[in-house]
Every structure is written in structure tokens, then in C-alpha cells.
């Protein structure tokens, strides 16, 4: 089989590309996804987000290598394995990042990725509930709604943040990011607004789009240094599929570098060690791995306003019935809908900490139900200085790669995390939360010194599920793709996903990934 364009991965970026490239009826496009359909209630129900995250049918369920600065813990690293990718199991928080994030990208020599250049693509994505303005779009395919969750703990949290001296921001995707407020979400009419539903599904009726699910791409085929096709397992048979114009790799920050290395693109010494013939020696493949590391400040709640009640059989069943009948009630929200951005110290020019307030305890990524009412404030530094890597275990494409985030390797990351705990404590101790606030569970009021907080962080901090940077865009020797997202030294191969981010933005990563895919679609369609 031959197509003009082959897209590897039907995650967030792959869905956008599938839609935009097939707007031209002359483009024959095929998209290959290792997972299956995401058209299931576990995906559609916002409050059920952890179900798909822990189901190996819908998630790769990676784990890191023992993290040396986190007491050698192996951290859970879920990645979407279904149509829609991580947009089908994420927390549905829609945050673009700070203007300065993209000015920094520009300063790395990426002139076309400045904030002013990428803002039109952010606007192009959105059908924003509050209407179009200078910063927001209202004509895009994806419903983006400012949360209207009325849980009283959200009101109390925002009141407490204001009392602690932090401004309330009604639009963190608008003119300024700093402040606390209700996040924008990709929840619409009580259901998850996944990228597959709003980008891919409308394109399915086009005759020039071919979608292959449950299809595992094992290798990219090259003629010299030109990418010409893929070897893919479909229904237990290996097929060779060819691209006349381009291959576009959209596997995400773990799978994209893995497939490049399996195909012969990466650090030559590493590839030779695994018995892989080298097509192109690109030492940056798999390097520059970044993520947001969250620490939870956990507080008992004296009022019955948390999600704890819905861990009980009868309330859980009744809430589920309500959602199935009317797409309303507690199951129609994600509850990761309040938070914001703050400076960890007054001398900082920009906010460097992101917070998510959640009206329940989260234990082991939701695998363990809480035993009491409680709430927690998630705190994470926006721009960690530590860097990790994705490497191969073997040349077998079905062997999971080695993932080492190397969290907290840089001392400043640990310092900022301690500062974020102090901010969280300051907010949670304010009068607006007084009637709700019980005992501090984590770190615990007895943990006050730097050493005590360091140990709490090393023993308890968890991923915010934002891996990126492993095939970074740039002009330096460790860059994997150029400004137009073309793999360096290779013809007809681009990467379009979060792996190309040179530096992690101050954001949940779905919105920036969609922006990258929208911009990439224009680059491809304009032959740039």
C-alpha cells in the first residue's frame, strides 16, 4: 500500500494532523495507532479518568527506572494507547503556558516559535466558551470551557489564595498567566472533549483518510537517508507501507525516540551496543527528557464536601447512573479544575510554580481509595533544570524502553519544590478554608526543616504526567529536528508531538501539543 502521508500515532498530534492534511482531497493519508478505539464510557466520563490510565488495553503503563534522587523509587508513567492518545485519559486541564516560555524557544534560535507566531495556532484550536478576543479563539474544533464547578471547596480555596496575597485570574490563557482561578477544561456537555472526537471523527467521512488501529509500527524503512515507509504489524502480519511524500512520527515523548532508535537514528554508540545498524548518528535522540514533578500537600477535611463520599458503593452507583442518564452530576467533572501559577519568591520575574487543587486524597495514582474526607494542593516547579533520557533495552520493538527522568538531580529543583510547599501551606492556612481544614496529613505539621521536607519530597513526589523534550527542536548539536520539525540529516521524516519541545512550558502539555500539530500541519501543507 502507498499513501502520500503516513502518520505514526493517533494521539493528540496525530488526530490534528489527520484532520488538517485531509482537508485537501488530493492528499491520501494513513494514520497508524498501536491501540484501539477510545469510544468507551471510561474515556467519556470525566471523573473516570483514572480507569483508562490503569487499564493496559488503553495505556502503555510505563515505569521509570529507579530514580536516584527519589529514594530509588520507580515512578509510574502512563501514556495513552488508544485513538486520541493522552487526550483520552488526561485531567482535561487546558493551559497554554506562559508567553515567556515561547520567547525562550525563540531565543534558542527558533524564530518562528515566538509567542506572537504561535498565538494564532492556539486560537485556531479553540471554541472557547467565553467568546473570541485578542488572545482567545471561538471558531476552532475543540470545545474549551472555563470551569463552572460549584464544589464549595473550590470557592474556599480561591478565597484562601486571595487572602494569602495571590491575585485571582479569570483567564490564565489570556493576557497574563499569573494568579489563581478556575482552569479552562476540555469538558463539554458533561463529557470529555477528546481530540479524537473533535478532530479525528469529523475527518473519518473523508475518502482520503485511512485509519489503522491496533497496528504496531515496528520500524521506519529507509533508502539511504530518505524515509520511505514503515514496517507495521496488522492482525499479526508484518506489512510494508510506503509514503510518497512524508512520514510523520507522532508517537509521543517515549515512543517517538524509541522508534527512531529502533530504526537506526540516534546515538551511534548506543545503537551499535544494541545491534542496530546506524542510519544517522543523532546523539540527542532520547535525551533532554523533562517532566513536571508534583508534591502533594494533603489536609484532612472536616466537612463532607470532598469526593470521598463517591468511593462508597451506593453513592458511586447513583452518581454513575446520573451521568449515564443525563451527563450531569459529580461524574461530569474532573475536579482538577482550580489552581494557578505563583512565584516561589518575590525576586522572581515570572511565576515558577503551578498548583492544582483537588477535593480529595489521591493515593497511588488513584489505585487506593482514601479512608477519610480530605483535599490536597499539588505543587510543581514549572521549569525543572534536571534532565533525563529514554534509551533502549534491546532491539526488540516490543521491549519497553528504559525511562530515567533523573528528577531532582539539580539542587534548584529541590529548592523550588520546598518553596512550593511553603506557599501551599500559606494558602491552606487562610480563614476561607478554616471551617474545612483539619490536620495536615502530608508532609505533616512536624515536618518543617529543609531536611525533613527534602525527605518528604523524595519519598512522595510523583509525576504530573508531562514528559517531553526527547526529540528536541533546535540548532545546537543535540537537536533532533529543525525549526520545521524535520529530522536532521534525514529526508521526508518529521516529528510532531511533545517530544520536539526544547524546554517544557509552564503548562499541562495537551494544549501546547495541539498548537505544535496545528503549526506543523501548515508547514507540511505549504511544503516548508
Picking from 418, 438, 460, the residue at the C-terminal end of a domain is 460
| Helices 411-428 and 152-163: angle between axes, nearest 10 degrees | 110
What confidence tens digit (pLDDT) does each residue in 431-458 have?
999 999 999 999 999 999 999 999 999 9
The predicted-structure confidence for 255-304, as pLDDT tens digits, reads as follows 999 999 999 999 999 999 999 999 999 999 999 999 999 999 999 999 99
For 122, what's the count of Cα atoms within 13 Å in the CB-facing half-sphere?
Answer: 25
Give the count of alpha carbons within 13 A of 230, CB side only.
28
**Judgement on whether residues 328 and 278 belong to the same structural domain of the protein:** no
d(CA 95, CA 511): 6
Q: Do 133 and 159 sit in the same domain of this protein?
A: no
414 and 454 Cβ atoms separated by less than 8 Å: yes
pLDDT in tens, 194-243: 999 999 999 999 999 999 999 999 999 999 999 999 999 999 999 999 99
Structurally, the chain folds into a number of domains equal to 2
Low-confidence ranges of the chain (pLDDT < 50): none
Burial of 11 (0-12, 13-18, 19+ CB in 10 A): buried
For residue 188, list its beta bridge partners: 191
Q: What share of the chain is helix, strand, coil (3-state, %, to 5)?
A: 30, 25, 45
Mean pLDDT for the chain overall: 96
Question: How far apart are the C-alpha atoms of 289 and 113, rounded to whole Å?
Answer: 20
Cα dist from 365 to 362, 383, 455, 465, whole Å: 6, 23, 20, 11
180 neighbors 158 (Cβ within 8 angstroms): yes
Looking at the fold, whether 244 and 95 belong to one and the same domain comes out as yes
Q: Rounded CA gap, 215 and 36, in Å?
A: 9
**pTM score, whole prediction:** 0.97
Give catalytic residues, as residue numbers: 466
- Which CATH number fits the domain that encloses residue 346? 3.30.410.40
**Per-residue buried b or exposed e for 331-366, using 16+ beta carbons within 10 Å of the residue's own CB:** bbbbbbbbbbbbbbeeeeeebbbbbbbbbbbbeeee
For residue 325, what are the domain limits?
148-182+293-381+408-460
Same domain, 343 and 416: yes
Give domain status of residue 130, yes or no. Answer: yes
User: What radius of gyration do the chain's Cα atoms show?
Assistant: 22
CA-to-CA dists, residue 255 to 226, 245, 275, 436, angstroms:
21, 22, 19, 44
Please name the residue ranges forming H helices in 370-503: 411-428, 450-460
Amino acid at each position: 500500500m502507498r499513501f502520500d502521508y503516513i502518520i505514526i500515532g493517533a494521539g493528540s498530534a496525530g488526530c490534528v494532523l489527520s484532520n488538517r492534511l485531509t482537508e485537501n482531497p488530493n492528499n491520501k493519508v494513513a494514520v497508524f495507532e498501536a491501540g484501539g478505539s477510545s469510544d468507551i464510557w471510561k474515556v467519556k466520563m470525566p471523573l473516570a479518568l483514572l480507569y483508562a490510565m490503569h487499564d493496559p488495553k488503553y495505556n502503555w503503563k510505563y515505569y521509570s527506572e529507579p530514580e536516584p534522587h527519589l529514594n530509588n523509587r520507580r515512578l509510574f508513567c502512563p501514556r495513552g494507547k488508544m485513538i486520541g492518545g493522552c487526550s483520552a485519559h488526561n485531567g482535561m486541564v487546558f493551559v497554554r503556558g506562559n508567553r515567556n516560555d515561547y520567547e525562550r524557544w525563540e531565543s534558542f534560535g527558533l524564530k518562528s516559535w515566538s509567542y506572537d507566531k504561535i498565538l494564532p495556532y492556539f486560537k485556531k484550536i479553540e471554541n472557547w466558551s467565553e467568546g473570541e478576543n485578542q488572545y482567545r479563539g471561538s471558531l476552532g474544533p475543540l470545545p474549551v470551557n472555563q470551569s463552572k464547578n460549584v464544589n464549595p471547596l473550590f470557592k474556599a480555596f480561591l478565597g484562601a489564595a486571595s487572602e494569602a496575597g495571590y491575585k485571582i485570574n479569570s483567564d490564565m490563557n489570556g493576557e497574563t498567566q499569573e494568579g489563581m482561578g478556575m482552569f479552562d477544561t476540555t469538558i463539554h456537555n458533561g463529557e470529555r472533549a477528546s481530540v479524537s472526537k473533535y478532530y479525528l471523527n469529523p475527518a473519518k467521512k473523508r475518502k482520503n483518510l485511512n485509519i489503522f488501529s491496533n497496528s504496531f509500527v515496528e520500524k521506519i524503512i529507509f533508502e539511504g537517508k530518505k524515509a520511505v515507509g514503515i514496517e507495521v504489524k496488522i492482525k499479526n502480519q508484518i506489512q510494508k507501507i510506503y509514503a510518497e511524500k512524508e512520514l510523520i512520527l507522532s508517537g509521543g515523548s517515549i515512543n517517538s525516540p524509541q522508534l527512531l532508535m529502533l530504526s537506526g537514528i540516534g546515538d551511534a554508540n548506543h545503537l551499535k551496543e544494541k545491534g542496530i545498524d546506524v542510519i544517522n548518528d543523532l546523539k540527542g535522540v532520547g535525551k533532554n527528557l523533562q517532566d513536571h514533578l508534583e508534591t502533594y500537600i494533603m489536609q484532612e477535611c472536616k466537612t463532607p464536601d470532598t469526593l470521598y463520599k463517591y468511593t462508597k458503593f451506593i453513592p458511586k452507583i447513583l452518581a454513575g447512573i446520573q451521568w449515564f442518564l443525563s451527563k450531569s452530576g459529580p461524574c461530569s467533572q474532573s475536579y482538577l479544575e482550580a489552581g494557578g501559577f505563583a512565584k516561589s519568591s518575590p525576586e522572581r520575574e515570572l511565576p515558577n510554580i503551578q498548583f492544582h487543587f483537588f477535593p480529595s486524597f489521591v493515593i497511588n495514582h488513584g489505585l487506593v481509595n482514601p479512608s477519610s474526607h480530605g483535599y490536597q494542593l499539588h505543587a510543581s516547579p514549572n521549569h525543572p533544570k534536571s534532565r533525563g533520557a529514554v534509551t533502549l533495552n534491546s532491539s526488540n520493538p516490543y521491549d519497553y524502553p528504559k525511562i530515567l527522568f533523573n528528577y531532582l538531580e539539580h539542587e534548584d529543583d529541590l529548592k523550588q519544590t520546598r518553596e512550593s510547599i511553603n506557599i501551599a501551606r500559606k494558602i491552606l492556612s487562610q480563614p476561607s478554608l478554616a471551617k474545612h481544614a483539619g490536620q495536615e496529613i502530608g508532609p505533616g505539621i512536624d515536618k518543617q526543616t529543609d531536611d525533613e521536607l527534602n525527605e518528604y519530597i523524595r519519598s512522595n513526589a510523583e509525576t504530573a504526567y508531562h514528559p517531553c523534550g526527547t526529540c528536541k527542536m533546535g540548532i545546537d548539536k543535540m537537536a533532533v529536528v529543525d525549526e520545521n520539525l524535520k529530522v536532521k540529516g534525514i529526508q521526508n521524516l518529521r516529528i510532531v508531538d511533545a517530544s520536539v519541545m526544547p524546554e517544557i512550558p509552564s503548562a499541562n502539555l495537551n494544549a501546547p501539543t495541539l498548537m505544535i500539530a496545528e503549526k506543523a500541519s501548515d508547514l507540511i501543507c505549504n511544503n516548508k
